[in-house]
Amino acid sequence: MREEFGRWAGRPPAEVWSAPGRVNLIGEHTDYNGGFVLPFAIDRSTTVAVAPRNDGHLRCHSLQVADDTGWAKYVRGVVQALAAEVGVQATGADVLVDSDLPTGAGLSSSAALEVAAAAAMAAMSGVALDGRRLAAVAFRAETEFVGVPVGVMDQTVVARAEADHALFLDTRSLEIEQVPFDPAAENLNVVVVDSGVRHQVGDGRYAERRRECEAAAAALGVEQLRDATLEQVEATEMDDTLRRRARHVVTEDARVLETVEQLRRGPRGGAVRGIGTILLASHASLRDDFDVSCDELDRIVETAMDKGAFGARMTGAGFGGSALVVVPDRHLSSVLDGFGDAAFEVRPVDGVRRNGAMG
C-alpha cells in the first residue's frame, strides 16, 4: 500500500489503517428495531492510506474500482461526520483505498471503508478516536451524510471487534459483550458463500422494511419492536405483512439471546455445534416473514446442509449478498468444492487497526 500510494500521490502516506468486513452470525434487521445482534469481524478488510493536502481538495482513488462508481461519497461523508461529531477538520487529503472485500455481498464493505477512513483521517489530524467514537463517526457518515438508513451494528463491530469473539450488541443501550466464538476449537469452520446477486442498501427495499417495522410497532403500541412480545404480535389486529415483519424481529431477538447463551458454554460445551438449528430458524424467518432472502440464497442454504453443514443462513440485509455456513472439518472440502470460487473461509478477527505511519 505504501508503494502504491507513493506512485499515485507522489509522496508517502501519513497514515494507513485497515478495517475488517463482518459477518452477522445472527440478529438480522433487529438493529434498527432497538434489538440485539451478534456479528463478528472477518479476515477480509479495506485499507485506507491518507496524506494531507494544502489546497483543501479531497482526492480519492481506489485500486479496485473506477472512481465514478459512487464509493467516494462514503469518504466525503466521513470528512463531514468527523467535523460534525468530533470537530476534526480533515478537508484536504489524498485518499487511496485497497480492499479484498466484495461489495454488495452483505459483508459490510461500506462500514469497513468508513471506519478505516475515519481512523486514518483523525490520526492524520493528530486526534486518536476510540472504537466507540469511530463507530459513531462512521454511522453518522452513512446515515446523515450519505443518506442510507442503516442501523448501528456494522460500524460498531468493524470498530470494536475482538479476535475469536462475536460482539453481542444491545443496539438500544449500545452496551457490548465480547462473547467467545472459536469454531476451530470444535473442529468447525465458518464459510461465506457469495450468491452473486448484488444489492444496494440504498435501493429502497431496506428503507421499506424499516417503515414496515415502524408501522408494526405503532400498531402494537410500543416504541420499537424490541419491546413487543410474540403473544402481542399474534393477538393484535394488523395487516398480515406487518404481522410477519414484527414476528421476525421478535423471534430473531430471542434467537440472538439463545445463541449468546449457547456460546457462553465454550468449546467443551459444544458451543458452536449447538447453534446450527438456530441459524436455520433465522434463515426461515428471514425468508418467510421478512421477505429478504432470494432463490439463490435459499439454494445455498439447502445445498450446504446436503453437503454436511451443521447450520446455514443468509447474512446481511438480504435481497442478495451472502450466506454463512457452519461446517465440520470432515465436510469442509465438500462445501468449498460445491460452491467453487463463490465460497471462502472466514475467521473472527480484531476490528480496525493502524498499519503504522508511513512518512
Any idea which residues carry the catalytic annotation?
A: 154
Distance CA 259, CA 40 (A): 13
Contacts of 137 (CB under 8 A, 6+ apart): 78, 81, 82, 85, 86, 114, 118, 122, 129
Q: Is 39 helix (H, G, I), strand (E, B) or coil?
A: strand
- Cα dihedral value 338, 344, 345, 351, nearest 10: -160
Contacts of 113 (CB under 8 A, 6+ apart): 19, 46, 48, 71, 74, 75, 97, 99
Residue type, 95: V
Element (H or E) spanning 353, and its range?
Answer: strand 353-356
Phi, psi of 208 (to 5 degrees): -65, -40
Contact present, 174 and 131 (Cβ < 8 Å): no
Distance CA 157, CA 169 (A): 9
Distance CA 42, CA 21 (A): 6
Distance CA 27, CA 285 (A): 11
Any alpha helices (H) in 125-178, and if so which ranges?
131-140, 153-160
- Cα dihedral value 194, 198, 200, 206, nearest 10: -70
Q: What is the DSSP letter of 184?
A: G
Distance CA 321, CA 293 (A): 9
Q: State the cell numbers at 272.
A: 458452536
Q: Beta strand pairing status for 165-170 and 176-180?
A: antiparallel
